[in-house]
Amino acid sequence: MDITPDIDEKMKDAKSLTMIIYGLYAASFLVGITCIVAIIVNYIKKDDVANTWLASHYRWQIRTFWFSVLWTVIGFITLIILVGWVILAANCIWFIYRLVKGVLWLNDNKPMYAD
């Protein structure tokens, strides 16, 4: 009995979920709550992709979320000295870059970090 088709199907499903998570992060530009849904799914499902190339995408997504939160908070705090607008704009560009790079590498079946 060959279990390879089951493994391939699980990886295909995991890859699809990873793409959906990227989509949720992207949708947060229009509906902010979707990034909260995405980070929850990241944490719930990350054990399912442990020791696979998809684990690096989950790590990438989780780091993108938390660093974006950090820079958003710093940006809002520094709005009173006007540098906050620059920080918020840079954070937005960085967030988009991380999403685009992640989607492209996921599409090419590449991990986010070199071993």
Q: How many CB atoms lie within 10 A of CB 84?
A: 16
Task: Give the burial class of 45: count Cβ atoms within 10 A of its Cβ; 0-12 exposed, 13-18 middle, 19 or more buried.
Answer: middle
Q: What is the pTM of this model?
A: 0.88
Rounded-to-10 torsion of CA 29, 34, 39, 44:
-160
Cα(69)–Cα(87) distance, integer angstroms? 12
Please state which of the ranges 1-10, 33-42, 90-99 shows the lowest mean pLDDT. Answer: 1-10
Long-range contacts of 32-41, Cβ-Cβ distance < 8 Å, separation of 24 or more: 35/65, 38/65, 39/65, 41/17
What is the mean predicted confidence (pLDDT) over 70-99? 95
pLDDT tens for 13-67 read 999 999 999 999 999 999 989 999 999 999 999 999 999 999 999 999 999 999 9
- In which residue are the tokens 């499902």 written? 45
The one-letter amino acid code at 58 reads Y
